Amino acid sequence: MSTFAFAPEAISTSTSEAVAREARAGLTATPKTLSPWLFYDEAGSHFFEEITELPEYYPTRTERSIFAAHADEILRQAALGQGPAGKLTLIELGAGTATKTGILLAAAVRQQGSVVYQPVDVSETALAEATENILKNIPGVTVRCQVTDYTREALPLNRLPNTRTLALYIGSSIGNFTPAGSCEVLRNLRAQLLPGDTLLLGTDLVPGKHKTEATLLAAYDDAAGTTAAFNLNVLTRLNRDLGADFDTEKFRHKVLWNPAESRIEMHLESLAAQRVHVPENSSGPALTINFATGETIHTENSYKFTPAAVEALLTSASFKLTRSWQDPKNLFAVTLATAL
């Protein structure tokens, strides 16, 4: 039977305080920035789930196809050396609604009879949806949710007797960090694992024969405008959570490919010279933020990798590459690595 344990108390600081700190730091910086974790309020989480189903957004369906083709092999490889009584516990960073993860969980249940799954995310709404889907569709899974910002706080890793941990960091979420930041995230994860534990890392690959710059840009600027709404929703969140007075109609979604940095960039561009006000809050006094016409808030990066870059990143964080799987068009890679 599937079971569920929810632990919203895992957040060490209130969400509102974290939002206030991030907004103050980012909007007073030069150039202006906002961290992508701010996207994921309830509305933002729903927008993102819509994005993953868009025809232009290839990463989700491509990674899902890799899991569908290789899930049993991935789980067997991760379990090597665990012994006849040993089992894997799965923990997922930035789990969201865990739609693809179900393929891996079903493989784990087939392999070992049952599995404990620990999804970690900043969105309580997304975790609740993930739990409902898993409990409905995959008997044999015990779900232990944790509402935590894994980029800032220690992972709530509940190690069970006679188990090894398989950490899932899929969806190319690692691409949202700078090279130094991605290394730090993986090093922090490695510090909480034991030698022999494993990591499954999903990475979007650089343009190639089957992936042009136009393909990349379309994936982050779809014809339906869903990604634009997702990006602009961060301003709506700041208005709601902080009492700011952003006029979302005076900003537009802007996407560009930065080949020198090997990344897609998402921005919110000011369409006019304007001022935005943020009232006094727990993080500091009231703010007046000036925008020039054409000035942007940099809201997200999505770095694209070569296989060599993936291996170098894993090595720098004290993991050893074990096996990698790619789709036939080499759009996306899923890599299993072992903690040293």
Question: From first to last of its 340 residues, what are the pLDDT tens digits of the chain?
Answer: 334 444 433 333 467 788 899 999 999 999 999 999 899 888 998 999 899 999 999 999 999 999 999 999 999 999 986 655 568 999 999 887 788 999 999 999 999 999 999 998 887 888 888 899 898 899 999 999 888 878 777 776 777 888 899 999 999 999 999 999 999 999 999 999 999 999 999 999 999 988 999 999 999 999 999 999 999 999 999 999 999 999 999 999 999 999 999 999 999 999 999 999 999 988 889 999 999 999 999 999 999 999 999 999 999 999 999 999 999 999 999 999 999 9
- Residue 273 confidence (pLDDT): 98
- Residue 255 confidence (pLDDT): 98
Q: Where are the alpha helices (DSSP H) in 157-306?
A: 179-191, 213-219, 226-242
- Residue 4 confidence (pLDDT): 40
Residue 254's beta-bridge partner residues? Answer: 267
Q: Which helix (H) or strand (E) holds 146?
A: strand 146-147
- Residue 39 confidence (pLDDT): 93
Note the pTM of the prediction, 2 decimals.
0.89
**281 phi and psi angles, rounded to 5 deg:** -145, -170
Tokens of 208: 């190639």
CA-wise closest residue to 236 among 46, 8, 14: 46
Cα distance from N-terminal residue to C-terminal residue, the chain: 34
- Exposed, middle or buried, 54 (CB in 10 Å: 0-12/13-18/19+)? middle
Homologous superfamily of the 50-208+305-339 domain (CATH)? Vaccinia Virus protein VP39 (3.40.50.150)
- Residue 82 confidence (pLDDT): 63
Alpha-carbon distance 117 to 200, whole Å?
A: 14
- Residue 6 confidence (pLDDT): 40
